[in-house]
């Protein structure tokens, strides 16, 4: 659209009053239909709670098809290149151990990093939260009289909503990673850590370029190479004119003060070398102690993320080098909730994450619902443990009223994420721990919580063999509920959540322990201790088995003594 000619990065945050209706889709009149997710005020907390948000994204057939194809492809690539590394497990162990050491020594390592960056001519800034980090970056850009900055793809700057903040300050932040550019042009939110436009297909991308890029060729097709070339031409002009670049960092090396960015497209290298001023925003957890530790992570990261043996571009820089590259370098060290996460013994390993996104690609939940359902720039399994911890109020808890409290439940605990994590973050265990934190935090709340009531009742029944046996026997009375085909197809709430899409088998005629009692009598079982052990009523057992003996419990095929009579 003409209003976006040349300055695609400028837009307002959804909260800003511009007469538009950001709440209904984020796009004001004439901006087109591209942004399914309006730009939120909080990049780590937007939209509905996970179940409702997922219900919406599940209804998007195009999204499901795109994601299914994309995640299957990248899963296969990763598996293939990981499989060829004989010491992969040892590498993972090392990566995990290094990150544990970083968390243990974080204050000292950060001081060491600051010292080394400063000694090499860089300027280090400390930002407690998003607002401070944004202000620091904006101040630097303004001091350089820049109304436009080029950006290297960065999760940290997504997390703090830097682009939107700069836009409000009259500074256009231009994303130069191809997928990030697509997301930005569409006024959309990223849906994947590594492939932020994974929810788009090439036909959609062509439309976005034609309508939003401003200088896309009129005869642009949807052939990937043509799309890439259009973006390349568009971005080249930006690289050459920008005075300030903003990046994130994959790694910050404490003992040398070196920063590292790994990427595939070369746009990062352009940003990191051409403009006079470079500002890097780095989460404080991205530290590694020594330069040689890069050896481990530069093997783990590309194979885990893009399924490449080595990423095409690895840029390393240390402070300022006179006459070569940016002559002014600022490093913004971002906390934004990280020290609170660090304080938790179980949850802190979420800070080990190197943002490879392997966990997203293998996650069966992510594959179906996509990134937007998580309501955070960190989606998928890592998002489900990182987001609620970063946004937790106090004591690492979100609280029942916070939509992010639903994230730890957005998993079947299938464990695929843990298996692929290059730094061995035990995501399923942290998810369970976060669930327990939420449950415990809600214990003091008044009112009836059906889950809590059910869990309490179940605990009483399930902590005693006698009570459980009686409950099971009572359940067999429901055997007839199954009707002629033995299944329940429609149940009242809350079981209706089950029967909406699956049948439920009716309880069997006989529980296992009833069958076992009969079986033991049949076999004249020598072991009689079990009955005395828990006061099981053996006389009752005898009476029961005499009339209800079955070789095979539960099924209707079993021969019963009743049937023989």
- Binding to another protein (CB under 8 A): which residues in 409-428? 409-416, 418-419
**For another protein, the closer CB: 202 or 519:** 519
d(CA 65, CA 57): 12
Which CB, 320 or 363, lies closer to another protein? 363
Strand partners, 175: 151
**Using CB under 8 A, which of 505, 540, 543, 547 touches another protein?**
505
Considering only residues 218, 448, 527, 563, which one is a binding residue for another protein as defined by CB under 8 A? 527
Residues facing residue 280 across a β-bridge:
247, 331
State the minimum distance, in angstroms, from the CB of residue 387 to another protein: 16
The candidate with the shortest Cα–Cα distance to 182, out of 246, 231, 219, 232, is 231
10, 320, 520, 549: which one contacts another protein (CB under 8 A)?
Answer: 520
- Residue 94, Cα to own-chain centre: how many angstroms? 23
R_g of the chain computed on alpha carbons:
29
- Quick check: 522 binds another protein (CB under 8 A)? no
CA distance 504 to 508: 12
Residue pair 364/159 in contact (Cβ under 8 Å)? The answer is no
Nearer to another protein, 228 or 462 (CB): 462
Please give the residues from 535 up to 564 whose contact with another protein meets the rule CB under 8 A.
536, 552-557
- Residue 467: CB minimum distance to another protein, A: 8
CB nearer to another protein: pick between 244 and 420: 420
3-state secondary structure 352-377: HCCCCCHHHHHCHHHHHHCHHHHCCC
Q: What DSSP letter does each residue of 245-260 carry, written as one string?
A: EEE--SEEETTTTEEE
Bridge partners, residue 31, by sequence: none
Residues 383, 389: Cα–Cα separation, whole Å: 9
Tell the smallest beta-carbon distance from residue 393 to another protein (Å).
18
Interface with another protein in residues 163-202 (CB under 8 A): none
> Footprint of another protein on residues 201-220 (CB under 8 A)?
none
Smallest CA-to-CA distance from 249 within 186, 310, 199, 294 is with 294
Q: How far apart are CA 498 and CA 489, in angstroms?
A: 9
Do the Cβ atoms of 361 and 304 come closer than 8 Å?
no
Q: 57 to 86, contacts with another protein by CB under 8 A? A: 58, 64
Beta carbon of residue 25, minimum distance to another protein (angstroms, whole number):
22
- Mark residues 39-58: x for contact with another protein by CB under 8 A, - for none: -----------xx--xx--x
d(CA 248, CA 269): 12
Please provide the DSSP assignment of 22-89 as one string: GGGTS--TTS-S--SSPPPS-TTS-SS-HHHHHHHHHT-HHHHHHHHHHHHHHHHHHHHHHHT-TTHH
Name which of 26 and 375 has its Cβ closer to another protein: 375
Burial class (CB in 10 A: 0-12, 13-18, 19+), 53: buried
What is the rounded distance in angstroms from the CA atom of residue 93 to the CA atom of residue 487?
A: 48
Interface with another protein in residues 422-481 (CB under 8 A): 429, 432, 434-440, 451-452, 455-456, 458-469, 471-472, 475
Rounded to the nearest whole angstrom, what is the least distance from the CB of residue 51 to another protein in the complex? 5
Which residue lies nearer to another protein by CB, 142 or 531?
A: 531
**Of residues 240 and 498, the one with the C-beta less far from another protein:** 498
Using alpha carbons, select from 284, 296, 290 the residue that is nearest to residue 258: 290
Quick one: which H or E segment has residue 19?
none
Which range binds another protein by CB under 8 A, 26-34, 207-215, 268-276, 528-536?
Answer: 528-536
First-to-final CA distance of the chain: 84
Choose between 146 and 382: whose C-beta lies nearer to another protein: 382
Q: Of the two residues 40 and 554, which places its CB atom closer to another protein in the complex?
A: 554
Binding part of the chain for another protein, among 100-108, 278-286, 299-307, 483-491 by CB under 8 A, reads 483-491
| Least Å from the CB of residue 528 to another protein | 11
Q: In the complex with another protein, which residue's Cβ is closer, 30 or 478?
A: 478
Q: Name which of 240 and 453 has its Cβ closer to another protein.
A: 453
Using CB under 8 A, count the residues that bind another protein: 87
Q: Which is nearer to another protein, 394 or 459 (CB)?
A: 459
Closest separation between CB of residue 96 and another protein, Å? 17
Q: Which stretch binds another protein (CB under 8 A): 147-155, 167-175, 268-276, 531-539?
A: 531-539
Question: For another protein, which residue of 35, 275, 302, 508 counts as binding (CB under 8 A)?
Answer: 508
Mask for 351-390, x = binds another protein (CB under 8 A): -------------xx--xx---------------------
If you ran DSSP here, which 8-state letter would residue 191 be given? -
Name the minimum Å distance from CB 483 to another protein.
10
């Amino acid at each position: 659209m003409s209003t976006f000619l040349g300055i695609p990065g400028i837009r307002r945050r959804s909260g800003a009053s511009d007469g538009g209706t950001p709440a209904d889709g984020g796009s004001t009149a004439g901006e087109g239909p591209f942004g399914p997710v309006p730009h939120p005020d909080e990049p780590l907390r937007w939209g509905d709670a996970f179940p409702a948000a997922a219900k919406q994204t599940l209804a998007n057939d195009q999204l499901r098809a795109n994601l299914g194809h994309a995640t299957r492809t990248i899963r296969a690539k990763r598996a293939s290149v990981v499989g060829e590394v004989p010491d992969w497990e040892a590498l993972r162990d090392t990566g995990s151990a290094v990150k544990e050491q970083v968390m243990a020594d974080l204050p000292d390592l950060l001081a060491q990093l600051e010292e080394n960056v400063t000694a090499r001519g860089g300027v280090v800034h400390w930002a407690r939260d998003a607002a401070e980090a944004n202000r620091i970056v904006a101040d630097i850009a303004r001091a350089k009289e820049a109304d436009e900055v080029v950006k290297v793809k960065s999760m940290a700057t997504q997390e703090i909503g830097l682009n939107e903040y700069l836009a409000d300050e009259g500074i256009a932040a231009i994303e130069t990673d191809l997928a990030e550019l697509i997301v930005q042009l569409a006024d959309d939110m990223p849906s994947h850590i590594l492939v932020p436009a994974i929810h788009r297909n090439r036909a959609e991308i062509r439309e976005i370029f034609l309508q939003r890029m401003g200088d896309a060729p009129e005869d642009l097709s949807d052939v990937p190479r043509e799309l890439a070339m259009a973006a390349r031409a568009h971005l080249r002009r930006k690289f050459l004119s920008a005075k300030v670049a903003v990046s994130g960092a994959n790694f910050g090396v404490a003992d040398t003060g070196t920063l590292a960015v790994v990427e595939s497209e070369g746009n990062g290298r352009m940003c990191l070398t051409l403009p006079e001023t470079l500002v890097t925003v780095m989460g404080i957890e991205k530290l590694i102690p020594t330069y040689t530790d890069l050896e481990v992570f530069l093997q783990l990261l590309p194979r885990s993320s893009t399924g490449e043996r080595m990423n095409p571009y690895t840029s390393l820089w240390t402070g300022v080098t006179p006459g070569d590259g940016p002559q002014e370098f600022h490093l913004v060290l971002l906390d934004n909730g990280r020290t609170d996460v660090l304080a938790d013994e179980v949850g802190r390993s979420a800070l080990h994450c190197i943002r490879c996104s392997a966990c997203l690609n293998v996650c069966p939940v992510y594959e179906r619902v996509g990134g937007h359902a998580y309501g955070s720039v960190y989606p998928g399994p890592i998002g489900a443990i990182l987001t609620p911890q970063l946004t937790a109020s106090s004591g690492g808890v979100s609280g029942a009223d916070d939509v992010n409290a639903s994230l730890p439940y957005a998993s079947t605990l299938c464990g695929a994420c843990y298996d692929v994590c290059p730094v061995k973050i035990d995501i399923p265990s942290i998810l369970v721990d976060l669930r327990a934190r939420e449950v415990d935090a809600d214990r003091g709340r008044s009112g009836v919580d059906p889950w809590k009531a059910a869990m309490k009742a179940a605990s009483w029944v399930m902590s005693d063999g006698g009570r459980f046996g009686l409950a099971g026997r009572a359940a067999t009375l429901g055997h007839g509920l199954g009707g002629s085909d033995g299944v329940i197809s429609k149940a009242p709430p809350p079981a209706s959540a089950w029967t909406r899409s699956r049948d439920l088998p009716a309880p069997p005629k006989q529980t296992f322990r009833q069958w076992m009692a009969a079986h033991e009598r049949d076999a004249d079982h020598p072991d009689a201790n079990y009955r005395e052990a828990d006061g099981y009523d053996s006389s009752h057992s005898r009476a029961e088995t005499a009339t209800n003996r079955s070789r095979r419990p539960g099924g209707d095929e079993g021969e019963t003594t009743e049937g023989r009579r």
